């Protein structure tokens, strides 16, 4: 297994290009199942999760080709051979469950393995099932698989979700595009990736309104046609790299960044003493003066502070002046980066869903282990600011969600290299 060696090397300066959003692409790709005409995505990120979704769609009989070094994904689901998403693929990536809604809507049936838990939590699918049942589907759990069917087709309905689940919103919205009649989805998730999905579905002929608000209305149509869609910028990669000059000093411009994608995150950085300003090409980030100040963080559904940036923000707070309280309200076990940061000299106490961080002047480099996607990059951020060398092992987690990390950080002056595993 590869590892990444980072050596604290002072302030960072320059530009970092931000890729298309992993979590938008992972819901846009299954949308191809809704139509027999081709769907092409541009600005796609080059990530192992995208390869996993490609393999899943191909296992269903879809044609998926990756062009222009992976930045374009051309898909066609003209003739599928299966409506079953196997456990061996789904267990690797929870987002595989996003084929459920589209398969059910187009074919009236789907068999999708339950993803099983993952490092950050149990991650059940009850909210997905409740929404699809509201549209008239019959869903049964058998041998670890969800067997869903809607022989007479799905019917529009009014449905209030108990929690604003991102994936459940995506599955229900995609299913409702081909249901008979009108669906009103209440307490829907408002993430930019959902707005991006709806914009793509609308290009395919779907009749949808209200995306980005808690109430999304979908008028079912008989069929959807093909389209070409550019994947929205990745707000989590953007936020992650905004923290690089925040933790190291210097000034970095994030190309393709937009303030509207990271409003609550940028406000927290401002309160901590980090300036974020819009430029022609994106967002410019710099520490206002010296050491950042400790701020408190509570993770919430969009537009609140993103849970996917909690680990990275914790790394910054480990070097802040004062004490910060980070409350993780979305997942039940998303502090696995904390013990690894403590190995680097951080002062962190975790009690349930709350971590209390007392900032230290300087972290010390140490060998640490990545435990999940966002934890892995929080350790790299800590290593950029630490004294000496930090080796982050198990970087396969990193490859799921960050393309060309070494190249992007080297480009702004970081001392970082990837060490091939034996
Ligand atoms: C999406 O996961 C993202 N993944 C996650 O990003 C992100 O952390 C999460 O949304 C929250 O923003 C993709 O978009 C591919 P949820 P998702 O359904 O859809 C519980 C990353 O690092 N829940 O909003 O699975 C669930 O257990 C990943 O890129 C139920 O209880 O998130 C969790 O505690 C990690 N029942 C909470 O809701 C359900 O049926 C949020 O889950 C569904 C979810």
Q: How confident is the model over 238-269, as pLDDT tens digits?
A: 999 999 999 999 999 999 999 999 999 999 99
> What's the whole-number mean pLDDT along residues 344-356?
98
Closest ligand 1 atom number to CA of residue 122: 27
Domain range 3-19+233-419, its CATH number among 1.20.58.710, 3.40.1380.10, 3.65.10.10, 3.20.20.80: 3.65.10.10
Ligand 1 in contact with 125 (CB < 6 A)? yes
pTM passes above 0.95: yes
Ligand 1 in contact with 124 (CB < 6 A)? yes
Integer Cα distance of 381 and 379 in angstroms: 5
Homologous superfamily of 22-230 in CATH? Enolpyruvate transferase domain (3.65.10.10)
Pocket test for ligand 1, best of 312, 330, 337 (most atoms within 8 A of CB): 330
Closest C-alpha residue for ligand 1 atom 34: 331
The domain spans of the chain are: 3-19+233-419, 22-230
Residue 89: pLDDT band with limits 50, 70, 90: confident
In this predicted structure, which of 47-61, 104-118, 365-379, 392-406 has the lowest mean pLDDT?
Answer: 104-118
Helix axis angle for 235-248 and 310-317, nearest 10°, is 10
Q: What is the pLDDT of residue 122?
A: 67
Across the chain, what does the average pLDDT equal? 96
Catalytic pick from 118, 200, 248, 318?
A: 118
E strand segments, 154-294:
158-160, 182-186, 207-209, 215-219, 227-230, 250-255, 274-278, 282-287
The yes-or-no answer to whether 3-19+233-419 and 22-230 have a common fold is yes
Pocket test for ligand 1, best of 121, 163, 399 (most atoms within 8 A of CB): 163
The rounded percent of the chain whose pLDDT value lies above 90 is: 92
Q: What is the pLDDT of residue 298?
A: 98
Q: Residues 323, 284: contact at Cβ < 8 Å?
A: no
């Amino acid at each position: 297994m590869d590892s990444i060696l980072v050596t604290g090397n002072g302030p960072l300066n320059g530009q970092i290009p931000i890729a298309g959003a992993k979590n938008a692409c992972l819901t846009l790709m299954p949308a191809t199942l809704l139509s027999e005409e081709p769907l092409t995505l541009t600005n796609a990120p080059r990530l192992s999760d995208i390869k996993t979704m490609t393999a899943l769609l191909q296992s269903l009989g879809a044609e998926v080709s990756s062009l222009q070094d992976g930045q374009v994904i051309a898909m066609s689901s003209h003739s599928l051979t299966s409506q079953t998403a196997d456990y061996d693929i789904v267990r690797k990536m929870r987002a595989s469950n996003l084929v459920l809604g589209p398969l059910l809507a187009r074919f009236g049936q789907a068999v999708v393995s339950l993803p099983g838990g993952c490092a950050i939590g149990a991650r059940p699918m009850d909210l997905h099932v409740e929404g699809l049942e509201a549209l008239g589907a019959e869903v049964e759990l058998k041998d670890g698989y969800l067997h869903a069917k809607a022989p007479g087709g799905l019917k529009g309905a009014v449905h209030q979700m108990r929690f604003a689940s991102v994936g459940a919103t995506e599955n229900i919205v995609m299913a409702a595009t081909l249901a008979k009649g009108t669906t009103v989805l209440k307490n829907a998730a408002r993430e930019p990736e959902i707005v991006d999905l709806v914009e793509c579905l609308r290009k395919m002929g779907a009749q949808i309104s209200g995306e980005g608000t808690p109430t999304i209305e979908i008028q079912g149509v008989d069929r959807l046609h093909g389209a070409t869609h550019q994947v929205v910028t990745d707000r989590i990669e953007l936020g992650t790299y905004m923290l690089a000059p925040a933790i190291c000093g210097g000034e970095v411009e994030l190309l393709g960044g937009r303030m509207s994608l990271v409003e609550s995150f940028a406000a927290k950085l401002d309160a901590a003493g980090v300036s974020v300003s819009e430029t022609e090409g994106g967002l410019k980030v710099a520490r206002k003066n010296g050491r950042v100040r400790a701020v408190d963080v509570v993770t919430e559904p969009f537009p609140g502070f993103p849970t996917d940036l909690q680990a990275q923000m914790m790394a910054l707070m480990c070097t802040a002046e004062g004490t910060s309280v980070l409350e993780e309200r979305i997942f039940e076990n998303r502090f696995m980066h904390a013990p690894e940061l403590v190995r680097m000299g951080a002062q962190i106490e975790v009690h349930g869903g709350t971590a209390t961080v007392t900032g230290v002047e300087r972290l010390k480099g140490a060998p640490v282990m990545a435990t999940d996607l966002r934890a892995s990059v929080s350790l790299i951020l800590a290593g950029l600011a630490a004294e000496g060398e930090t080796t982050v092992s198990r970087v396969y987690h990193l490859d799921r969600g960050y393309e060309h990390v070494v190249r992007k950080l080297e480009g702004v002056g970081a001392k970082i290299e990837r060490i091939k595993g034996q």
